[in-house]
Structure 1
Amino acid sequence: MAGRNLAYDLLPGLSKTVSIPIICVGNITSGGTGKTPMVAFLARHFQSRGLRVAVLSRGYGRKNKQAQVIVTAASATKALTPDEIGDEALMLRQQLPEVTLVLDADRVRGATAIVENDLADIILMDDGFQHRKLRRDFNLIIIDSQRLFGNHQALPAGPLRESISSLKRADAVIFNKFDQRHPDFYTQAAAILNHIAPHRLFCAGYRYKNFTQLSGIQEKTLDEMKKCGPFCAVAGLANNDYFFTQLKTSGLKLAESVPFKDHHVYTRKNLIKLKELCQGRPLVTTAKDADKLRLQAAAADENFMRNIWIANIEVEMDNEGKFLELLQ
């Protein structure tokens, strides 16, 4: 990795350039740092300015064997599934139906398709900080403030995809899932990063936008949900503990929490066990898990499906205005 990065540093012409701006939302660690919610946040921002947005992603977890999948507002004439485009891409599709999705492990090929077909005015690359074959105009790095860099070791001994020194390529760094109750943490982490290179540092977290029934019938605010507990919760994320903790710190009473591995594909057996565990209590899950649960819940028990609620989050940033100015 170090040798490859050196080659790109010394020979910038190795990277392919396209004719529209590219913002890369990436990280240097494995596991979920919160890239996809940040992509959604940025997409809404650029849409509000009248720009057509395309999200370029590998489409992790999809079983579709096509090298490239393009989903536009006009082309999506049927319901898509996680097997076709992956759980995170499907989540973006449902939250942002006007955004074009291009799924391609070859980011250069994907970006070229966007430009040649005039699909967007700006590209948001979901992950791909290490994919240096494609030149980008802005590198935004997301760091999970709950985990930082783990043991500072590279994969597989630790969580690092590449060395911490690679952060010198970043144009801005966001400490995500930041806990304002521990401000000293920010000071310590900022000192580490500024030792590598001066960065524009920001903090972000999540707030609950609303809770929607998996069946799509009802919607509740956080205050309304607090009156409905106790709850059970289930998630298949890279950091399930954060999801469960946030529910509790937001005032929801959790009776049980069930963690699965990241990108877990739910089975009918899973749903039967979850129903038994809940014993009539509402079940809260994430937007990323929702469609995978829906596929099984509808077949297993429609009544149980009406008792499953999706916790819909949105990004909440400190100094949001200053951050967005960087992207002008």
Structure 2
Amino acid sequence: MLSTDTIRAAGAVLWRGEGVVEVAVVHRPRYDDWSLPKGKLDAGETVPAAAVREVLEETGFHSVLGRHVAQVRYSAFGRPKVVDYFGARAVRGAFTPNSECDELRWLPVADAAALVTRREDRDVLAAFALVPADLRTVLLVRHAKAGKRENWPGDDDLRPLSSAGWRQAEALRALLPLFGPARVHAAPRVRCVQTVQGTADDLEVFVPREPRLSEEGYWPDRDAGLVRFLDIVAGDGVPVVSSQGGVIPDLVQKLADLSGLRLADVPCKKGSLWLLAFTHPAPGWSTSDSPAAWPRLVSAHYLPSALPAPRP
């Protein structure tokens, strides 16, 4: 739990290239240092939104967020400061010197690490370099609030979002595009579909129903649910998957166990999001292959809410 006087900030390892990856570092004349792009959250802003905004303001590049790379903590101006860094692929733009940054250099990771001034930035670059920059990102969402089951007189499959749930769904509609989604899937529950329908509408895509990722479809055959999820992972473009609290913790833990990724716990609040990043499957890969050939989970980051945290 962060104290109320903590300075929250966000940034990114902005990267480009295929094969040989280059990352962006910027010179800040105010401090006369070389840094990864980052900055403090504005009022009413989420951490991912701040990362995208700061990258654009400091580098001139629009970006798509990928995995969560690292969180660093240090003291600034006598207060604790926490900075979350994501990988961010540059998609378009150009650098123009500005009041915050007067120079940008695209460098291989090792050269960027040698140039940056702060040890914390070198640590972030080291974490970024541990796995490939170009990973398969999946946005696994638990449906938003839908009131209490005992207060709904009809079929529970048809229980809709509550007013609080609709606020969460609208927040997700603003947050999910930062990660460049292309597809939207949902367990066949009205509340699961409603949670991500706004995102699907914005993308102008249909929401396929995923019975294997509902609670009663998953638990009779967990392996089949896992295989179906990995089929979704292996498709084209970044998928959003909306499921239930009785599925997500077990599914994420199974994926982590298969990949040798250690997770302390797997929370799953309503309206929350797991940002999962996988290695690419081999060409011609199939879920009938040995699990050793399946896409490997290399990063799992939990966002407890798409709503911005209240400011102290």
Q: TM-score, normalised by structure 2?
A: 0.27
Which structure carries more strand by proportion? 2
